[in-house]
Amino acid sequence: MKCQHLIRLAFAVLFAATVSGRAAVVQSPEQLLPSDTLAVVSVPDFDHLRQVTLSSPWGLFWQDAEMKPFREKFLHRWQTNVVEPLERELGVKFQEYIGLMHGQVTLAITRNGWDGTTNQSPAWLVLLDVKDNTNALTGQLAALRKKWVDAGKSLKTEKIRDIEFLNLLFAPNDLKKAMENAFPGLKEEKSTKDSPDKPGEKTGLYVGQSGSLLLLGSSTKDLEKVLVRQAGGLVPMLAAEPVFESCQPQLRGSTLLGWVNLQVILENVRRQLIAASAANPPKDPMAPRPEKVLSAAGLDGLKAAIFSFKETADGYFWEGTLRVPEASRKGLLRMLALETAEAQPAAFVPVDAVKFYRSRLDVQKAWAAIETALAEVSPELSGLVQMTLSSLKDQNPDLDFKKSLIGNLGNDIMTFQKKPRAATLAALNSAPTLTLLGSPNADALLKTVRQLVGLFPPPANDVKEQEFLGRKIYSLASPFPMAQGPEAESRLFFSASGGYLVFSPDVTLIEEYLRSGEKPGKSLREMTGLNEAAQRVGGMNTGLFGYENQLETMRVVWEVLKKEPGVFEQAFGLSPVMGRSDVKEASKDILEWLDFSLLPEFDKVSRYFHFSVYAGSARADGLSMRFFLPVPPQLKK
């Protein structure tokens, strides 16, 4: 719990430091951070990131004069409701720190003796390089010390490697209250009154300066290691750790990067689960053991997670990778390791599709992996599942689940979506969508699905059929609204043709698909710029590819927000957090900051939106997802 309080204070102190900022690296984060670092998020050059952000499509959009009324109201409420209350509680004027940050900004979590078997918690530290603002930083720290003392708050000083650090002391619940007042979403269901601070209990935040480097942390040992590394000492550094070193090629040259040592974290979590299970054995013999779930899912084979963001002359590139050697993949991770195969839009996917996704997941292999994982987690539960599947054949002798359903599924899953037919929330939630499942025998698969539906209890087993171009189109009652129109809202349509079993809540999309073989229109694959953008994410032959026309999807969302401002509040109300009683009223206040009636007509800002592509791939060392956002044509110089 102390670690949570310290992190909250760190974000409060860093609020001003990270709103401006710039970069110039004293030493790279991996050279300064200790070898037991568990996770790091870093901006190597904050000035560069700020410049990239301001000149990006989303940065230019936010600064556009047409957005001024909306922007100014939001920023005014942010300042009044969040910044000023925090400043009063913490005795800090954030504006006094703006302009100091010009170098690296790094947040790290360190192991700090945490092994999953004791109450020892990880620690955290922050490194901020102010470059030429060294004197200004010294003055701000002196002012912080004076304000803290003048406010009657506890403070100590401590020297680490001959550098004086302020140890800001506070009661954990005081800080928690301040953060909850500023950010209502941080409130917990249980009141702080139920867990009062112990008499004299204080938590410390260490703040110090070494040259142009501002250091904040919860552990003096970690701060000392950073200072030794900064001075050229031989303390083991993160860069030399094999798990990190293998990830450096992807991180090199990033504008923003992140890394997590999943190998250590998951091993410690496994120890905690084993200890908890031993202390409180499950009463149900069929209940899976948590540590076995980790193993069966293949998570214990994970080494690291990596994230990087880079900008190019023609767009913006994100990449996320799970480092897991091919030999260690099983369970879920084995399923995610898609085989290299064509994943481009099929010829029948229309050019006016606003979203497209295609995965070459081998469903038969995925099912086999699920069965193996389930047997490893709980043989009893696995047996129950097998008995249930066998009982289907007792109800219908012609129905063999594995042979008739799984055996007729292939390795091609595709979906595309068209624009909603109206700018309303209902239409937005039921945009025309077609899903296709590849099959070596689509007609047999259709028959199997029809038989399975017949086993449903009424009224779900009420199947209707119609013919279109010599093909059967079936429909069944849906338990929730899925499309527009009094009939379509309550039914799901399905058919088979061209090697695919197709589903849609909108029968017209199925009809268009069945007709596409006779009168093919312009395909999405022919769209200008799509192939070039796809090359930025590894091409369309990696086993997974996706596309979104953000210009058109945002246009509809924009119009809905302007017509129905309450839509945003409804969407938030559906979330488990925003729906909680203790934050519902506060969330209404926050949503009032977003006055969508002040938004301009979309065409006045549409030049900032274009399309995006993404692709997934499996390599020998890990599983990756890449995203690319091309610069909109109207913003190209």
| Most confidently modeled range among 181-185, 212-216, 579-583 | 212-216
- Residues 221-254 pLDDT 10s: 999 999 999 998 888 999 999 999 989 888 999 9
For position 582, what pLDDT does the model report?
Answer: 46
For position 473, what pLDDT does the model report?
Answer: 95
Question: Cα(187)–Cα(183) distance, rounded to whole angstroms?
Answer: 8
Question: Cα(517)–Cα(502) distance, rounded to whole angstroms?
Answer: 15
- Exposed e or buried b per residue across 554-573, where buried means at least 16 C-beta atoms within 10 angstroms of its C-beta: bbbbbbbbbeebebeeeebe
Average pLDDT of the residues in 427-453: 91
Q: Which of the four pLDDT bands, split at 50, 70 and 90, describes residue 383?
A: confident
Is 423 a residue whose pLDDT tops 50?
yes
Cβ atoms of 525 and 345 within 8 Å: the answer is yes
Residue length of the chain:
637
Copy the structure tokens of residue 188.
């917990």
Which amino acid is located at 227 in the chain? L
Average pLDDT of the residues in 407-415: 94
- Residues 116-134 pLDDT 10s: 888 888 999 999 999 989 9
Q: E-assigned strands of 348-426?
A: 355-359, 413-417
Question: Cα(7)–Cα(186) distance, rounded to whole angstroms?
Answer: 13
Residue 520 Cα to chain centre, angstroms:
37
Is 527 a residue whose pLDDT tops 70?
yes
For position 208, what pLDDT does the model report?
Answer: 93
Look at 517 and 174; give whichever has higher pLDDT.
Answer: 517
For position 484, what pLDDT does the model report?
Answer: 44
Average pLDDT of the residues in 469-487: 69
Cβ atoms of 36 and 111 within 8 Å: the answer is yes
Residue linked to tokens 């007709």? 515
Cβ atoms of 586 and 610 within 8 Å: the answer is no
Q: Helix 379-395 vs helix 363-377: angle between axes, to the nearest 10 degrees? A: 130
Cβ atoms of 16 and 84 within 8 Å: the answer is no
Is 591 a residue whose pLDDT tops 70?
no
Burial grade of 541 (CB within 10 A; 0-12, 13-18, 19 or more): middle
For position 298, what pLDDT does the model report?
Answer: 82
CA angle 191/197/202 to nearest 5° reads: 135
Cβ atoms of 338 and 618 within 8 Å: the answer is yes
For position 401, what pLDDT does the model report?
Answer: 79
| Most confidently modeled range among 142-151, 187-196, 286-295, 569-578 | 142-151
Integer-rounded Cα radius of gyration of the chain: 28
Mean residue pLDDT of the chain comes to: 83
The residues that bridge with 108 in the sheet, in sequence order, are 40, 125
Average pLDDT of the residues in 207-229: 93
Cβ atoms of 238 and 30 within 8 Å: the answer is yes
Nearest CA to 432 among 507, 368, 522?
507
Is 455 a residue whose pLDDT tops 80?
no
Residue 217 DSSP SS3: strand
- Phi and psi of 338, rounded to 5°? -70, 145
Look at 196 and 91; give whichever has higher pLDDT.
Answer: 91
**What residues contact residue 94 under an 8 Å CB cut-off, 6+ apart?**
15, 16, 19, 83, 86, 87
Q: What pTM, to 2 d.p., does this model score?
A: 0.86
- Exposed e or buried b per residue across 313-352, where buried means at least 16 C-beta atoms within 10 angstroms of its C-beta: eebbbbbbbbbbeeeebbbbbbbbbbeebebbbbebbbee
Q: Helix 566-573 vs helix 550-563: angle between axes, to the nearest 10 degrees? A: 100
Average pLDDT of the residues in 74-88: 84
Cβ atoms of 102 and 23 within 8 Å: the answer is yes
Look at 13 and 466; give whichever has higher pLDDT.
Answer: 466
Is 159 a residue whose pLDDT tops 70?
yes
Please state which of the ranges 62-66, 182-186, 616-620 shows the lowest mean pLDDT.
182-186
Copy the structure tokens of residue 34.
């200790």
Cis peptide before 459 (omega within 30 of 0): yes
Copy the structure tokens of residue 390.
């066998």
For position 201, what pLDDT does the model report?
Answer: 56
**What residues contact residue 161 under an 8 Å CB cut-off, 6+ apart?**
224, 227, 228, 231
Question: Cα(103)–Cα(85) distance, rounded to whole angstroms?
Answer: 28
Distances (CA, A) of 254 to 52, 309, 312: 12, 6, 11
Instruction: Give the single-character DSSP code of 487.
Output: T
Look at 375 and 226; give whichever has higher pLDDT.
Answer: 226
Question: Cα(402)–Cα(452) distance, rounded to whole angstroms?
Answer: 12
Question: Cα(429)–Cα(421) distance, rounded to whole angstroms?
Answer: 11
Cβ atoms of 53 and 62 within 8 Å: the answer is no
**What residues contact residue 499 under an 8 Å CB cut-off, 6+ apart?**
410, 438, 439, 440, 442
Q: Which of the four pLDDT bands, split at 50, 70 and 90, describes residue 379?
A: confident
For position 194, what pLDDT does the model report?
Answer: 46
Is 294 a residue whose pLDDT tops 60?
yes
Copy the structure tokens of residue 330.
């099983």
For position 34, what pLDDT does the model report?
Answer: 94
Residue 373 DSSP SS3: helix
Average pLDDT of the residues in 132-154: 86
Copy the structure tokens of residue 200.
């004299």
Q: Which of the four pLDDT bands, split at 50, 70 and 90, describes residue 558?
A: very high
Question: Cα(164)–Cα(168) distance, rounded to whole angstroms?
Answer: 13
Cβ atoms of 183 and 82 within 8 Å: the answer is yes
**What residues contact residue 619 under an 8 Å CB cut-off, 6+ apart?**
none
DSSP one-letter string for 497-526: ETTEEEEES-HHHHHHHHHHTTS---BGGG
Nearest CA to 630 among 561, 536, 566?
536
* End-to-end alpha carbon distance in the chain: 51
For position 580, what pLDDT does the model report?
Answer: 47
For position 286, what pLDDT does the model report?
Answer: 66
Is 71 a residue whose pLDDT tops 90?
yes
For position 195, what pLDDT does the model report?
Answer: 52
Copy the structure tokens of residue 151.
């406010």
Question: Cα(250)–Cα(230) distance, rounded to whole angstroms?
Answer: 25
Burial grade of 166 (CB within 10 A; 0-12, 13-18, 19 or more): buried
H helices present in 517-598, as ranges: 530-535, 550-563, 566-573, 581-593
Question: Cα(185)–Cα(174) distance, rounded to whole angstroms?
Answer: 17
Residue 402 Cα to chain centre, angstroms:
34
Q: Which of the four pLDDT bands, split at 50, 70 and 90, describes residue 482?
A: very low
Is 277 a residue whose pLDDT tops 60?
yes
What share of the chain has pLDDT > 90, as a percent?
Answer: 48
- Phi and psi of 629, rounded to 5°? -115, 105
